[in-house]
Structure 1
């Protein structure tokens, strides 16, 4: 990422500035300029935006938008003519005023979180301690192993490096990126605004699109790995087959397998699993799959050697990947059939695949700090997101349709949009309206291309159940249809956390046997009986209607570094999780999920595991997870100084 400020701004005349401001996202503009100039009078309460996600430009009227642009233009001209001086750090009162302008005055509890996320001080999440290595550690051997070089693994590695902890990252693939490396199917892109899908302390403001495509997301993480020095600590082509705890040594022994099949062991004090939830493709058990003579592959293992031009193609599934794949390939194939088990709810996002407007891109490149405040404005909108619309009313009766009055209103709005897009095609209209409450399953972004594609003459939406695959195609109750290519767009085995790795903790306990198909962890991070072992993007840390998973990963990594401090700096033998705290936390999680659409409605989705429990989702606010992960609580940790005695200690 490179910027040319303040040179670009200094060279801009009034006409150029007006042209840029015409494309600006306005709510963040006045706080950015108040920060640059110190002029808090720019923050006129009459121009305060609404945080409603449904409203463009923060709900500002056309007149107010004109006023904001004129205020901004005058401020920019003054700032330019003064030589674009460096901004003075805002005082606490000034910062609070800037934050409240975007977020409101009635949510003071959020101010510490907002100040951290804004990251004006640089990197507030950096560890505040340094590893105190012993003479025995002077060999440079890794003390902590991070499993996975995706978004969370890279972040954990970076924080370990900041704390001076020797570490290694073990990655089964040949490059970094995790899910953004493996999912390279046509149309793949992020469904969180690009500017939020980056670390708060290493934000990129030069994204080409509002919701960037897979290559741009992957390039961001590759660049971060290079700039941070993490890449040199990664062992590519290395899969962890097992992890075994030694009580006597207070360490984990990892059995590793290389790409060539060779095996060897690595012993470390602590393990951070950053393998994620969406890394093992889910393939439905359909009779005859082995008999199909055409090309058959999963979206996460896309076969780029197969030319789809002029082919007869079937896509099985109508989840997130299918909604991106189908419009992307429709124009090149001869026939396209989409096999749907359940229709998804769509979130109208007209700018989903659009490039950033030229003027907006110019401001992000040339106006100091604007990108930071724009990212922060997005964060303000997504702090609660659609959470109120997904919360269930215990008195609501028809939970197969909706779960509350607000949820029913959302259903009506989404249904109206779907029917308008289907137009006079009554058969298609009946197929695209979901039969479950909004939020009970993942809601998907769409710019209108989904139904527009389904309405094309050579595209069919098939709702007949697939009975079997044949040598030539797919058979349903309506008969057999021939295809050249079949694509599974059927998601991942999200609830099978840490598979296929074997993890053996205290007393020889196998983690998967301990979970019995129902993964649980304290804060999604710690499991009692598995000391010095931490999960990122673990059970119940998936967020689907508010925020970005990058935020949750930053919170979780902050917590993990707090747990490693007594282990690596204070000389403790092991850091374990208190079982009572773990159980109480999970009871509360279950109660919270029961009050959300995905728990209140009896709907089959990947949010539920094989026991029927919601093991994926976080049902509360971002603020609550941020608070819980600020400092490890003495009531939740068990710190061992020796292999046998245990004691709870405040850290």
Structure 2
């Protein structure tokens, strides 16, 4: 903290200039933390309505007073060296979080926030050995990580810190996962970047609050470079199948290489880091192959196809369509957008905004500025809406909303849509969903409503009957001519781990245990009958009420490494979740989901499987899932001792005999 303090006050004019541009709520929190004085926070509280900086209305004189106090505090600390602890006293921290967000932040969030912001003396998400294993034992517990996207890289960083040997196999030719594969126009994140980033690698110089694909991909590549991970990755290699070998208590994975070769990979543990938005879903529409023009999925965008002056048909109005559509509407001759059902899309003033130079300077140079900025972004996008997504059985309008707060949100969104569409009744009918807010993925308005108002854009909600060589035919008999067909139809999200074949104990197939599209796992991480296999972003861990997927990934990776530590330190061969623990947890998940908006009868989404069960989204608040994964409980698992070489040979001989 001393180095940052000295650097920040080297040029007082530069410091003041930066703070004049920087977010005042973050400046206020830093001032309070460093000084321990809450008087300015109390004075500002009546002017704060939320954690987003645009939700404050502090008078200019109060803003100036806050900046003056921070400059004076930094100068004082540089002289005295009397720095406060990184983790504030509990009472002070509670007051800071509550007053600076304009909301009551429950005390249960304090340890989560300390961990997420890195305020503790040590990184509590980094594995700490209780008894350091020998190198030989560590080598015997090598890990195979499947996928080099955000989850796989997070796992690699933590495995590397712990000294556990690992190898990553990646089907693509480079790093990035979904951020490598998806490069359609205007592809970007709808979670604020200052939380859509690893807690162990904050980035001060995000150019935007909601960055586009290239900047996110570069961030992932920087992480790989900084931690020296690339040498652990085998590119152009896909895991076709995995089989648990009982004799050795190890996973045998069949790999298919880009040149068609196959090979076997042996590992003690496997972490799947394949994501859920990685296999494009193609619509089951008659005649799709008959289209005579160019045709591609948004996840496989063909940049060789020139769209300028062309008639383009785009099927789908979800996240990809809502980003790509506005990006191409201005260059095409005509854009026909085919919509099955509308999505809710909210407005955020920061969505298209770049981060000011002063804000970036403060994030890089002012002590604790990046940490408290992360808190504000975390809380603004966190659990605040969770209670509004629960069904009130006594609510009189259950078809369109869930409760009083959810209905107020609906009215706000409807008013916004009407305003954006200039009162066009036909477009309003097409764009206002009939289901409650958050029933499907809540999207950010990427100038979507202004796009459908354009003279060269048609929003068509008549059902598609078939694709014909010259375009798309709808059920009313109209053929919509097109030169290019774009499929913005999402991903096969409900088919978790598909097409990977996994055989566990007794050659039990994971796909059979999951009955196709009914995946279940304890904490979304572990499944009975599949020892030493751990999942990231597994069943019922998708976030649909708020938060960042990276938060869940970090929670899961921390838990997985604790499970590995328990196995390695005990010198055990395998660890497997108990069936009763798994079943009780999934009963709780199902019961919780029944009362959430995603189970609403008016909602048809990829959050649910073909049995209408919610399999993708997590019903828990972030703080709940953090608590569930905070500490690995060995009592919930079964451990199998390692066999001696003689025992392993005997089991292998018995298996060979039975195979004969």
- TM-score, scaled to structure 1: 0.92
Conserved in 2, the CA contact under 8 Å of 1:436 and 1:603?
yes
* Counterpart selection for 2:64 from 57, 61, 69: 69
User: What SS is found at the alignment partner of 2:608?
Assistant: coil
User: What SS is found at the alignment partner of 2:65?
Assistant: helix
Conserved in 1, the CA contact under 8 Å of 2:27 and 2:66?
no
1:47 and 2:48 correspond: no
Which whole-Å CA distance do the structure 1 matches of 2:31 and 2:82 have between them?
10
After alignment, is 194-203 or 106-115 more displaced?
106-115
User: What SS is found at the alignment partner of 2:89?
Assistant: helix
1:57 and 2:70 correspond: no
Shift of 1:135: 4.1
* Counterpart in the other structure of 2:367: 368
- TM-score, scaled to structure 2: 0.91
* Counterpart selection for 2:472 from 471, 474, 486: 474
User: What SS is found at the alignment partner of 1:27?
Assistant: helix
Shift of 1:363: 2.1
* Counterpart in the other structure of 2:173: 174
* Counterpart in the other structure of 1:33: 31
> Which blocks of at least 5 consecutive residues in structure 2 are unaligned?
648-660
Which whole-Å CA distance do the structure 1 matches of 2:148 and 2:46 have between them?
38
> Which blocks of at least 5 consecutive residues in structure 1 are unaligned?
646-651
1:451 and 2:446 correspond: no
Shift of 1:293: 1.1
Deviations 1:222-264 (A, max 9, x none): 1001111122111111100001001111100000011111100
Conserved in 2, the CA contact under 8 Å of 1:473 and 1:482?
yes
* Counterpart in the other structure of 1:648: none
User: What SS is found at the alignment partner of 1:368?
Assistant: coil
* Counterpart in the other structure of 1:550: 550
Shift of 1:42: 5.7
Conserved in 2, the CA contact under 8 Å of 1:252 and 1:268?
yes
**Cα 1:453–1:62 shift into 2, 3 Å:** same
Which whole-Å CA distance do the structure 1 matches of 2:485 and 2:356 have between them?
37
Which whole-Å CA distance do the structure 1 matches of 2:105 and 2:440 have between them?
32
After alignment, is 233-242 or 373-382 more displaced?
373-382
* Counterpart in the other structure of 2:619: 619
After alignment, is 192-201 or 16-25 more displaced?
16-25
Conserved in 2, the CA contact under 8 Å of 1:6 and 1:366?
no
Alignment of 1:106-121 (within 5 A): 107-120=106-119, 121=121
Deviations 1:131-188 (A, max 9, x none): 62464876xx871100001111111111111111110011111111111111111011
* Counterpart selection for 2:463 from 462, 465, 486: 465
Which whole-Å CA distance do the structure 2 matches of 1:4 and 1:371 have between them?
12
Conserved in 2, the CA contact under 8 Å of 1:131 and 1:164?
no
Q: Alignment RMSD, CA only?
A: 2.4
Alignment of 1:93-132 (within 5 A): 94=89, 96-103=91-98, 107-120=106-119, 121=121, 123-129=123-129, 132=133
Conserved in 2, the CA contact under 8 Å of 1:440 and 1:601?
no
Conserved in 2, the CA contact under 8 Å of 1:10 and 1:80?
no
Conserved in 2, the CA contact under 8 Å of 1:385 and 1:547?
no
User: What SS is found at the alignment partner of 1:194?
Assistant: coil
Conserved in 2, the CA contact under 8 Å of 1:30 and 1:42?
no
Shift of 1:62: 3.3
Which whole-Å CA distance do the structure 1 matches of 2:20 and 2:511 have between them?
56
* Counterpart selection for 2:83 from 70, 88, 91: 88
Conserved in 1, the CA contact under 8 Å of 2:277 and 2:492?
yes
Which whole-Å CA distance do the structure 1 matches of 2:617 and 2:392 have between them?
18
Aligned residues: 635
Conserved in 2, the CA contact under 8 Å of 1:272 and 1:535?
yes
After alignment, is 357-366 or 157-166 more displaced?
357-366
Deviations 1:478-521 (A, max 9, x none): 41122111111111110100111100000110100110120000
Conserved in 2, the CA contact under 8 Å of 1:559 and 1:631?
yes
Shift of 1:6: 5.0
Conserved in 2, the CA contact under 8 Å of 1:210 and 1:356?
yes
